[in-house]
Chain A
Amino acid sequence: MKFNIKRVIAVIRKEFFQIRRDKRTIAIILLMPIMQLFMFGYVASTSVDHISTVVFNNDIGTESRDLLESFTNSQYFDINYSAYSMDEVQMYVDDGYAKAGIIIPPEYSENIKSGETAQVQLIVDGSDPTTAQTILSSAGGVIQSKSVKIVTENYGVIMPQPLDLRSRVWYNPEMSSVNFNVPGLIGVILQTVTLMLTSFSIVREREKGTMEQLIVTPISKMELMVGKIIPYVIIGFVDIILAIGLSVFWFKVPIAGSITLLLFFSIIFLFCALGIGLVISTVSRSQLQAMQLSMFLIMPNILLSGYMFPVEAMPRSIQGISQFLPLTHFIKVLRGIILKGVGFSSLKNEFLILSLFAIAILSFATFKFEKKVD
């Protein structure tokens, strides 16, 4: 197949002229990454603390007040409401004022002083599992350390501990969900923007009739495809720099690894996303259809790529599907480089998978594209 670089440049220039005059496209290029970063960066926070709590304290001793103070001091619980009956506790939780309820029985202080086991009841609103999980584990922690303290104070002995777990959290020591979310988000944004833009690029010309004029010229399939891809590679690259810039300077997400490596992988991923967009554009009959198809693909990509839920937690069959999404691998790369600071040697597999996918999907798009109208 013949390949004339000047013809390719003519197509690239034409695409840029068109993009420049299309406000909608410019909005997608510039505003969408910013909006998505802010929306997902702030809203999709999974760190839970300062949980609104209702307390029903039947005990009159100082010991119970002591315990409640430990809960407050942990920063996880805010005791906002005091109830005077179980019905009232239920009302606070039912109406959503409180996510947790602590109930202390009348004999609490008595039991502690006499050395018996004192009981405390914890009510958890389990409708949101993430919050419930945090409540359970932090309450457990509070009770555990309080128990040790009580034993030490009351008996003056230090309990020997047969097991001592010393945990250290690597890569993201504060377990900040912004640090975790933002790298994945960069991948999601890049995918969404390039998919939306390229999915229109060919079908728009078909719909407007300009494709018919283009097909009767001597331009080859390859020349046209390359000319169509390059502008969006450049735009995608601008978007990735925009997204990384915002992450670093606004969300203060530190990049542990090499930025060059990150950009290198981004380009490979861009070719994958562009390829998917081009395939959509060649098989669609109208711009509306292309839009629906890309929407249809964007959702599962966000859900299955590990951006929201860990791939390991998915059923086996679904895990298989997620392995076919380039976004899954790119998110692994993003988290690897940004959070863990790993180098190329740890990402060899991802490099292979992404490159193969890019080559396969772009060949398929070129193959599917016919210089015909029937």
Chain B
Amino acid sequence: MENAIEIKDLVKKFGDFTAVNDVTFNVKKGEVFGFLGPNGSGKTTVIRMLMGLITPTSGKGTVLGYDVSKESEIIKNRIGYMSQKFSLYEDLTVEENLNFYGEVYGLYGDKLEEKKKEILIMADLEGRENMITANLSGGWKQRLALGCSILHEPEVLFLDEPTGGVDPIARRTFWDLIYKLSDSGVTILVTTHYMDEAEHCNTIGFIHYGNLLSLDTPNNMKKYAIDGDIIEIKVDNTLKTIEVLEEKENVREAAVYGAGIHILVEADTPINDLEQHLINNKIKYSSIEKVRPSLEDVFVFMVNKSDNI
């Protein structure tokens, strides 16, 4: 069995609202799979179905070969989960949380002590065992949550926006941990909307309004997911410029990017043509050039494209 997770035609409806629409993809064993999409796109719903927290409306999903609708109790022994919202007990100490989850996963005595020590070192929480969890800062809380979810050495780890609300340094430390886990053979499915994090993944699935729009490696996605060229324009009045450019016929999309704007134009559109258009409209710009698409471009233009359909 090569795939840790297999999803086929998965659908989840809440009343009339379709949260997940016919999603199909596989996650290979040992890979870091990044699940991308704007807020409310259905990422969390897919993860929750995979763990048996909610029941799929139709379609099939398996984790480690077990059916998510019927065998979720077997799956639960072999997966770890870190939810979007911090969900350990804030009124327990670091050690009490570790003890509790350890025992719930069936770890006792020496085995538990050994595992706890390992996690404390990994999460850099040594010496903070007796701190009340509520008083930990964001990065520590998040590493403790990760620690609690891997105490029982799961084969698959689900991380739902694990780095929301923590500082960049803590985010980097956290991703170092994710790599270590991945190196040791754990399959990781992580959702995020940070593009730099997405670059770190082996495969990216891009979901929007419950539809899986694209599925590829980060590099391929940058190369092939966008049909056309990306032109970067450095300009002061970004909003006015976007307005002006959107009137032009071969410009498909325009969006703010950093200090300037990125536009998506039909392939091989001459830059001179665009320059002339800007000058005609009395727009002052400091530079205009064709650039390689970044993941953010892919993300933004894919969302806009699907919104326009």
Contact = CB atoms under 8 A, between A and B. Distances in A.
A370 to B, nearest CB: 10
B103 A217 contact: no
A206 to B, nearest CB: 11
A373 B77 contact: no
Contacts of B89: 14, 18, 210
A209 B52 CA distance: 16
Interface residues of B, number: 32
A7 B85 contact: no
Contact of B88 (A213, A372, A374): A213
B87 A213 contact: yes
Nearest to A1: B73
Nearest to A2: B73
Interface in A52-91: none
B104 A217 contact: yes
Interface string A237-265: 00000000000000000000000000000
A102 to B, nearest CB: 65
Interface string A212-228: 11111111100000000
Contacts of A316: none
Given A14-B92, A209-B83, A210-B87, A215 B53 contact: yes
A14 B96 contact: yes
B100 A218 contact: no
B104 A7 contact: yes
Interface residues of A, number: 28
A39 B292 CA distance: 78
B103 A10 contact: yes
Contacts of A22: 91
Contact of A218 (B55, B85, B91, B104): B104
B79 interface: yes
A374 B104 contact: no
A372 B53 contact: yes
Contacts of A7: 103-104, 106
A13 B100 contact: yes
Interface in B224-257: none
Nearest to B51: A216
A218 B83 contact: no
Contact of B53 (A9, A21, A216, A220): A216
A41 to B, nearest CB: 34
Nearest to B81: A216
B106 A208 contact: no
A200 to B, nearest CB: 13
A6 interface: yes
A208 B104 contact: no
B90 interface: yes
A213 B105 contact: no
A4 interface: yes
B86 interface: yes
A212 B87 contact: yes
A216 B108 contact: no
B76 A218 contact: yes
B175 interface: no
A170 interface: no
B83 A217 contact: no
Nearest to A10: B103
B54 A373 contact: yes
Given A6-B108, A219-B104, A21 B81 contact: no
Interface in A357-374: 371-374
Task: Report the 3 A-B pairs with minimum CB-CB distance, sorted nearest first.
Answer: A10-B103, A374-B54, A213-B87
16 contacts: A7-B104, A7-B106, A10-B99, A11-B104, A21-B91, A209-B86, A209-B87, A210-B89, A212-B53, A212-B87, A213-B81, A213-B83, A216-B51, A218-B104, A218-B105, A220-B73
Given A6-B106, A209-B86, 10 more contacts: A10-B99, A14-B89, A14-B92, A210-B87, A216-B52, A216-B53, A216-B79, A216-B81, A217-B105, A218-B106
